């Protein structure tokens, strides 16, 4: 009896947490009319993703291999690398004209580099950790985005204030 009740309680708690994460994730996402699931990206990269939340507190993040950055003719899209991660990772579409700046950040803790993107408002901030940061910055620069290739130390404790 007690064992069944305990198992049921844990099940309800896990489901409630998934719905809570999904609510935060949906509010942090941003879709634009130009994006279409039928359109294939010009370039696509898999890495680790960190973003500011529009609802709740702090920022969200996923581990390496869980985020995807795709470059299209209209802009970029940040999304989960697998459909199973849809409840936890928002899909964010940004036109090239909306991206304020992009730069490379370094971290001794992560032993890797990241692409930092600020857009479309100062309160929107996204970090994409990948070894292919140079290719991403080049793709953004070709499409008119202000890019800084100078590596800047990235301090996670003060994120997103730099």
Q: What is the pLDDT of residue 24?
A: 59
The pLDDT of residue 93 is above 60: yes
pLDDT score at 159: 47
Domain residue ranges in the chain: 27-155
Instruction: Write down the pLDDT at residue 153.
Output: 77
Tell me what pLDDT residue 74 has: 92
CATH architecture under which domain 27-155 falls: Roll (2.30)
Looking at per-residue confidence, does 85 or 9 come out higher? 85
Between CA 49 and CA 91 the distance in angstroms is 11
Return the pLDDT at 22. 60
Per-residue model confidence (pLDDT) at position 54: 55
pTM of the model: 0.75
9-45 pLDDT per residue, tens: 777 777 766 666 565 556 667 778 777 777 889 999 9
Read off the pLDDT of residues 136-153 as tens digits, 9 standing for 90 and up: 999 999 999 999 988 887
Give the dihedral of Cα atoms 122, 158, 136, 70; nearest 10 deg: -70
Question: What residues contact 110, with CB distance under 8 A and at least 6 apart?
Answer: 129
């Amino acid at each position: 009896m007690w064992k069944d009740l305990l198992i049921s309680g844990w099940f309800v708690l896990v489901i409630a947490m998934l719905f809570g994460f999904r609510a935060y994730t949906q509010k942090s996402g941003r879709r634009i009319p130009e994006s279409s699931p039928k359109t294939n990206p010009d370039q696509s990269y898999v890495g680790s993703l960190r973003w500011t939340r529009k609802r709740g507190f702090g920022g969200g993040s996923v581990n390496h291999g869980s985020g995807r950055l795709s470059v299209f003719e209209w802009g970029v899209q940040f999304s989960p690398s697998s459909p199973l991660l849809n409840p936890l990772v928002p899909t964010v579409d940004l036109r090239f004209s909306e991206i304020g700046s992009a730069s490379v950040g370094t971290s001794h803790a992560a032993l890797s580099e990241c692409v930092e993107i600020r857009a479309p408002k100062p309160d929107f901030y996204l970090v994409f950790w990948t070894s292919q940061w140079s290719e991403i910055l080049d793709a953004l620069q070709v499409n008119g985005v202000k890019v800084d290739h100078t590596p800047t130390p990235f301090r996670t404790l003060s994120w997103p204030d730099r």
